[in-house]
């Protein structure tokens, strides 16, 4: 039986700021752009969450909910350094670490013999060491499968530790709301709700054939997750699928002409980022546009080089979908799968 930990720092960016300035601990704070600029909240502390603020919320909306919210610009070099320290603790426990972002990771501790092989004791040690070395609290979930470990880490935040031993998986999953399942977003959740499916015990009553008819290949995945089955391994190296840059403008770009003008600096940033990564092979390019009504469209083209003219053509097509002022503009490239990249690098 596998032993998987999911470690998730509590409101990470905000936690680093509160650690460095204790005056911020008991007031609502958020990491985001200033009141004079537009953008979204990267994260916020728990006093801010009490007002309904959450990550990815437009800053303007957050300020409506909490006019006395303290906005901080964020220091991502500092956050990356704290993340490096926390990841070092993870690697002291096991080499099988799959980072998901700066503030969370999966750890496979199935073969770890320290702490008499107890995954619970390992999780307790992990929490103590991260707090002692960095001043950051980490919530940890322990389970035999990745999706259950992730659910468990969020079960008792902040500073939580939830363990789902093998003998409790059946009962735990049966009561689990379907919107907690890995891969179930708002659209799939709404479809399940329309079918009268609220938790996994409801989901188990649908035969596999019905789920496949309703949800295609994902129906098979739902069938397994409703029974606590998740065989995904912890991947030490996560494959990068794209490289991109984007900008949220202080004022909407009123027309396509001004959006085209904004492409040049974005293209330069993208080119510099690709150079830092060794100029990888490119499978295609894409453009992302968020309009002033917050609608979002992404248009991509396979086989195209990352040249300004190609991005301009994609931008024109994307803008034509709404023909509205542009709030955010992004450009990026798709990378070929790792296996294909290795094949391309083989000598003739």
How far from chain centre, in Å, is Cα 80?
Answer: 16
20 is in an annotated binding site: no
* pLDDT in the model for residue 36: 60
* pLDDT in the model for residue 339: 55
103 is in an annotated binding site: yes
CATH number where 211 lies: 1.10.150.20
Count of structural domains, the chain: 3
Torsion of Cα atoms, 202 then 208 then 212 then 217, to 10°: 100
Burial class (CB within 10 angstroms; exposed 0-12, middle 13-18, buried 19+) of 190:
exposed
CATH number where 59 lies: 3.30.70.270
Q: Do 114 and 122 contact (CB within 8 A), yes or no?
A: yes
Answer yes or no: is 233 within a domain: no
Q: Do 215 and 222 contact (CB within 8 A), yes or no?
A: yes
* pLDDT in the model for residue 279: 81
Distance, in Å, from the CA atom of 77 to the CA atom of 323, rounded to the nearest integer, reads: 37
- On whether both 259 and 338 belong to a single domain, the answer is yes
Domain that holds residue 60: 1-162
Which residues, 6 or more positions from 189, have their beta carbon under 8 angstroms from its beta carbon? Answer: 178, 179
- On whether both 121 and 158 belong to a single domain, the answer is yes
Q: Quick check: is 104 catalytic?
A: yes
Q: Which two tokens stand for residue 219?
A: 């129906």
Q: Which two tokens stand for residue 273?
A: 């980022």
- On whether both 73 and 138 belong to a single domain, the answer is yes
Q: How many helices (H) and strands (E) does the chain have?
A: 14, 12
* pLDDT in the model for residue 182: 85
- Beta strand extents in 210-292 (DSSP E only): 242-253, 284-291
Count of positions (residues) in the chain: 348
Burial class (CB within 10 angstroms; exposed 0-12, middle 13-18, buried 19+) of 343:
exposed
* pLDDT in the model for residue 37: 61
**Apex 104 CA angle, 182 and 141, nearest 5:** 65
* pLDDT in the model for residue 344: 45
Q: Name the catalytic one among 36, 92, 98, 104.
A: 104
- On whether both 146 and 13 belong to a single domain, the answer is yes
* pLDDT in the model for residue 9: 96
* pLDDT in the model for residue 34: 65
- On whether both 92 and 181 belong to a single domain, the answer is no
- On whether both 206 and 285 belong to a single domain, the answer is no
Per-residue pLDDT tens digits of the chain, which is 348 residues long? 899 999 999 999 999 999 999 999 999 999 987 666 667 898 999 999 999 999 888 888 999 999 999 999 889 899 999 999 999 999 999 999 999 999 999 999 999 999 999 999 999 999 999 999 999 999 999 999 999 999 999 999 999 999 999 999 999 999 999 999 988 888 889 999 999 999 999 999 999 999 999 999 899 999 999 999 999 999 987 667 889 999 888 789 999 999 999 999 999 999 998 988 788 889 999 999 999 888 889 999 998 899 999 999 999 999 999 999 999 999 999 998 765 555 544 444
Report the 10 Å Cβ neighbour count for 206: 19
């Amino acid at each position: 039986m596998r032993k998987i930990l999911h470690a998730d720092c509590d409101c990470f960016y905000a936690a680093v700021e509160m650690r460095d300035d204790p005056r911020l601990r008991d007031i609502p704070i958020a990491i985001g752009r200033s009141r004079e600029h537009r953008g979204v909240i990267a994260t916020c502390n728990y006093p801010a969450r009490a007002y309904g603020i959450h990550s990815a919320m437009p800053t303007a909306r957050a300020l409506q909910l909490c006019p006395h919210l303290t906005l901080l610009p964020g220091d991502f070099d500092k956050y990356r350094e704290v993340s490096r320290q926390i990841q070092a603790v993870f690697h002291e426990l096991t080499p099988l670490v799959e980072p998901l972002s700066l503030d969370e990771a999966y750890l496979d501790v199935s073969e770890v013999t320290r702490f008499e092989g107890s995954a619970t004791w390992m999780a307790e040690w992990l929490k103590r060491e991260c707090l002692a070395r960095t001043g950051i609290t980490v919530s940890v979930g322990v389970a035999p499968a990745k999706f259950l470990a992730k659910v468990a880490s969020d079960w008792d935040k902040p500073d939580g530790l939830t363990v789902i031993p093998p003998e409790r998986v059946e009962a735990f999953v049966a009561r689990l709301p379907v919107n907690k399942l890995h891969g179930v977003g708002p659209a799939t959740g709404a479809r399940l709700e329309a079918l009268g499916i609220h938790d996994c015990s409801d989901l188990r009553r649908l035969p596999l054939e019905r789920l496949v008819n309703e949800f295609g290949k994902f129906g098979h995945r739902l069938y397994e997750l409703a029974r606590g089955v998740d065989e995904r391994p912890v991947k030490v190296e996560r494959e990068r699928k794209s490289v991109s840059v984007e900008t949220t403008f202080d004022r909407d770009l009123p027309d396509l002409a001004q959006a085209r003008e904004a492409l040049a600096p974005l293209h330069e940033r993208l080119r510099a980022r690709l150079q830092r990564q060794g100029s990888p092979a490119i499978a295609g390019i894409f453009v992302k546009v968020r309009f002033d009504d917050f609608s979002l469209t992404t248009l991509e083209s396979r086989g195209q080089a990352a040249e300004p003219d190609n991005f301009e053509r994609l931008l024109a097509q994307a803008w034509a979908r709404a023909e509205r002022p542009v709030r955010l503009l992004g450009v990026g490239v798709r990378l070929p799968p790792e296996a294909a990249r290795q094949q391309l690098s083989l000598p003739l």
